[in-house]
Every structure is written in structure tokens, then in C-alpha cells.
Chains A and B, each alone.
Chain A
């Protein structure tokens, strides 16, 4: 029942992803790796495509993962799943509980979630770094250092900071993805 699984998984992701953009990346990663839907490398590819195409990343990721696991029906159900919680909650707020966010208790609850989400994103980037650059997943698993990947991470970081100095704003993610694509072709082909 891949269809039901896709729908329920993305329903869960949609219901607890706070903070927009990469807020749901830790949960998506956990789910796709646990179910064996994607490898770490495939997940990173999907994120790159989602980032380089228009539209919210969460929707792009849901459609992409849904389509790769269950064709067009899978894509539709995963996307519906990720949209539905936000849609219902906002409708509730707009109709019945307009002042919901004004309650101090609700604010306190959200105040606890905020630093947690930032921690989850930073933690995810750390474990992804270990997995993508060192091919290290768990204690006792393999370890293979990939100097090219490390070089690319360093080059991209340097590029971003230099660009920020000259142009006074960050380069767009698409530009950085293009730069790293060029570096990847150069370093891995020869």
C-alpha cells in the first residue's frame, strides 16, 4: 500500500513542519531513509531540483518523492497530504479561532518549537555532511573520506562569502547549484 503510506507520511510532514522552507527537511530525511524510499544521494539530488524549480520546496519534494515511488497517483497523494494540514489549520484560524495565536500559551508553545526547528536543520546538515562527505552513517558502518566533496563544500562556501562581500547580498541557491555542478563535472570526471 505505497499510496496510503505516501499520503499518511506527507500528511504527518505537513502537520508538524514549522518554520517554512527547510523546516521539514529533517522529517522528510528521516521518513525516506527509514522506509528505504531514497538513498542519501538521491535525497540531495531531489532537494537540488526542488530548490532550482519554482514553487515551495515542500510541495516540490512531495511531488518528486510521490512520483518516483508511486507514479502520478503517488505524486498527487503525497502533494495532497503535505498541503491538507496547512489548509485545514488556516481555514480553522480564519473562520472559528481567529485569535488563536494571541493566547500566551500558544505563543509559549511556538516559542519552544522555534529554536528546536533551527537545531533540527543544523543537525540535519551535520549528519548529511557526515554521510555525503565522509560516507559515515553510524558507528560500525563504513567510513570513506571523499576529498572532492569536501573541496566542493569549501569552494561553495568561499564563493558565497566572496559574492556577499562584492554584491552585498547572498548568491541565489540556483547560482550556487550551477557552480557546484561545474565543479562536480570537473573534479569527478578527471
Chain B
């Protein structure tokens, strides 16, 4: 048991330490480790886990680690796997954060980061754009997306405080209502 926990921890630590670019890059590595090499779960179950990870809140890597860890060694396995995937990030970033301000006080570095700031804006836009293209094209999705963008940008310009949490909860409830209305319509049509 202890051996299995250690192995889980070590595998996840390795994945946490070597995947750049977060969530989706990590899925490929996890599949390679857990399905192809160790054969701890089969392909179908792995795809199920990915679907669950994508539809639950939180970083995808954490969702995957928790689930895979549980399947291997119960709650303790979950904890080991999650700790393993988090620890490399934590250590690397903590060390960087100690030196970051000193590093930024160099003029040349500060100038480089002014360029990088502009790039990050583009990176976020391009991540959003990619997700937009992956979204099923329906009137419902388009309208909800447009309203969200319009509200967010105008609230921000006019300094209206409206938490992101509300956007998420309200749109979830709208999705649920749309489904219930659709259901009621179907029932009405049957009668």
C-alpha cells in the first residue's frame, strides 16, 4: 500500500514538474502514464475522467489527480496524487516569488516585462477565441456569450461592481431554465 502511494506521488510529481501550459497539455501526459504505460485505467474510463474533470470546477490537473488517485488507492491515494501534482508548482513559484521584485528592479527586465504584459493580453484573448470556436454554434450560446461580454466590459468601464461568481451562477440557472422550458414544451406537444 505504502509503495503504491509513493508511486502515485512520484508519478504525479513528475507530471506536475514537466508540463507547461496547464490543463490540456497535462491530459496527454496523464494518458501516456496511466493508460499506455502503467495500465492503471483503461482508455474508456480515462475519457470519462477527462469529461468529469472538464465539467467540474477547479484546475483540470487537480481534478484528474484526485480521481486517478482515488481509483488506485482510495482517499489517501487522492491526497498523495493531488499533493504530488501541486508540489512542483508550489516550490518553483515560491522560489521565483522571492527574487521576482529584485529581478524586476533591473531596467532592462522591467522593459522586457512591459512587452510581456502586452503579450499576455493577447494570450488570454487567443485562449478565449479558441474556446469560442470550440463552442457548439447555437443561438443560445451566442446570445449568452454576447450578453456576458457586453455586461462585463460596460460594467468595468462604468465601475459597476458585479462579481464574476454571479455571471457563472446566473448563466447556469439560465441553462437549467432553458432545459425545463424545453421539457415542458415537449410534454405539451405530446398531449
Contact = CB atoms under 8 A, between A and B. Distances in A.
B128 A91 contact: no
A5 interface: no
A4 interface: no
B157 A138 contact: yes
A36 interface: no
Nearest to A47: B120
For the complex of A and B, list the 10 residue pairs with the smallest distance between their C-beta atoms, beginning with the closest.
A184-B115, A112-B175, A86-B58, A119-B148, A55-B89, A108-B179, A180-B119, A123-B152, A116-B171, A121-B128
A45 B167 CA distance: 26
A21 interface: yes
Interface string B126-142: 11110110010000111
Contact of A120 (B85, B119, B152): B152
Contacts of A55: 16-17, 19, 22, 61, 85-86, 88-89, 92-93
A19 B26 CA distance: 14
Given A113-B175, A189-B107, 11 more contacts: A21-B127, A41-B113, A53-B20, A75-B93, A90-B66, A91-B75, A94-B66, A108-B175, A112-B174, A116-B171, A177-B120
Contact of A129 (B67, B96, B121, B167): B121
B32 to A, nearest CB: 16
Contact of A54 (B18, B53, B119): B18
Contacts of B40: none
B132 to A, nearest CB: 5
Interface string A129-148: 11011000111000000001
Contact of B117 (A25, A44, A116): A44
Interface residues of A, number: 107
B40 to A, nearest CB: 14
What range describes how many residues of B lie at the interface? 35 or more
18 contacts: A19-B131, A20-B60, A41-B114, A54-B17, A55-B19, A55-B93, A59-B59, A85-B58, A90-B62, A109-B172, A109-B176, A110-B55, A111-B175, A122-B128, A132-B117, A139-B158, A149-B118, A172-B21
A118 interface: yes
Interface in A28-51: 30, 34, 41, 44-45, 47-51
